Amino acid sequence: GRLAADHLIECGLRSFAYLGLKDIWYSELRREGFAERVAEAGGTVDAYEMPRYRDPNKAWQSGLEQIGRCLEQIRPPTGVFAVNDYRARLLVDECHRRKLIVPDEVAIIGVDNDDVVCEFCTPPLSSVSRSGYQVGHETAVLLDRLMAGGMPPAQEVLIPPDGVVKRRSTDLIAVEHPQVAAAMEYIRGHLNEWFGVERLVKVLPISRRQLELLFKKHLNQTPYDYLRRARLDRAKTLLSAPRRTPVAEIARQCGFPNTHRFLMVFRDVEGKTPTNYRRDLRGLW
């Protein structure tokens, strides 16, 4: 939930909704994490949750009704986090039926990173990946232990998600102020280059003080914080990819002047080194 919130907040969105399942533990956890992170950024979340039904026909109809209520009440542009990719796909389809533009009016992100659902959606669906590779690996390790007569773990084995896979359904900059939007667009287009706020001031052009005030007003963060977070998000995406890119190359692709600077910033923000972050995600390395 927090990863989805971070992603939508970085798109510049200020209105948020959650589409989930009532009385389902993982749906409640995702809603809580999403709402907590949005609250930290000064926003609120409208939650729309479908009750449980044994009858699949009632469940289907109830789901469509919840999606309809969500779209009737939101005020575009809004970021919607759905409990899974399937429900996010239904939301995209209903947006098309109601002539709502995705992502310009409704930005949508799901969970699971199901390639079939996400890639064959129009537009392709952004999703939080649940570390499927590591989940499978840890499951096999546990099953092997139990089959050999070993004891199950005393506590739950928790595997963190391995990041947001961004696709077209959240590809927007939802900021009305033209200079803030231009700064965000410039940052996103030049992440492989080493630059700071000084370059933004020259490119726009605008005074640094004014840029700081505008970012604080529209994004609730400084230009430096936004730039740093954008670099680290790209780094985490590269670290979680199946291909094991060297840390020095990741530092270069994310615009850090050298590997040492990358290690220092990553450890400061994430509380661990890039190598340990990748090891925690993949388990095998």
pLDDT tens per residue, range 137-151: 888 989 998 999 988
* Orientation of helix 223-240 relative to helix 208-219, angle to 10°: 60
My answer on whether 217 and 166 are in the same domain is: no
What's the predicted TM-score (pTM) here? Answer: 0.70
| Contacts of residue 119, Cβ cutoff 8 Å, sequence gap at least 6 | 167
Residue 281 has pLDDT above 70, yes or no: no
Nearest Cα residue to 106 out of 66, 73, 128, 84? 73
CB 170 within 8 A of CB 79: yes
My answer on whether 196 and 95 are in the same domain is: no
Q: Is the dihedral of CA 273, 277, 278, 282 positive or negative?
A: positive
My answer on whether 17 and 97 are in the same domain is: yes
Q: Spell out the alpha helix ranges (H) of the chain.
A: 2-10, 25-40, 56-73, 85-97, 115-119, 132-147, 178-189, 197-203, 208-219, 223-240, 247-253, 259-270, 274-282
More confident residue, 233 or 186: 186
Instruction: State which residues form the domain around 74.
Output: 2-130+162-170
Write the pLDDT tens digit of every residue in 199-246.
999 998 889 999 999 998 888 889 999 999 889 988 987 887 767 889
Q: What is the mean pLDDT of residues 145-165?
A: 85
Helix (H, G, I), strand (E, B) or coil at 222: coil
Write the pLDDT tens digit of every residue in 42-69.
889 999 988 877 776 777 777 788 888 8
My answer on whether 70 and 97 are in the same domain is: yes
Average pLDDT, the chain: 88
Return phi, psi of residue 12, to 5°: 90, 10
Q: In the 3-class helix/strand/coil scheme, how is 94-119 assigned residue by residue? A: HHHHCCCCCCCCEEEEEECCCHHHHH
My answer on whether 115 and 48 are in the same domain is: yes
- Is 144 contained in some domain? no
Asked which of 170, 200, 223 is the last residue of a domain, the reply is: 170
Asked which of 170, 186, 219 is the last residue of a domain, the reply is: 170
My answer on whether 9 and 112 are in the same domain is: yes
Spatial distance between the Cα atoms of 190 and 104, rounded to a whole number of angstroms: 22
My answer on whether 6 and 119 are in the same domain is: yes
Asked which of 170, 196, 227 is the last residue of a domain, the reply is: 170
| β partners of residue 111 | 128
My answer on whether 199 and 166 are in the same domain is: no
Spatial distance between the Cα atoms of 86 and 112, rounded to a whole number of angstroms: 9
Domain total of the chain: 2
**Residue matched to tokens 């084995």:** 157
My answer on whether 39 and 92 are in the same domain is: yes
Spatial distance between the Cα atoms of 110 and 164, rounded to a whole number of angstroms: 9
CATH number at residue 200: 1.10.10.60
- Is 142 contained in some domain? no
My answer on whether 46 and 30 are in the same domain is: yes
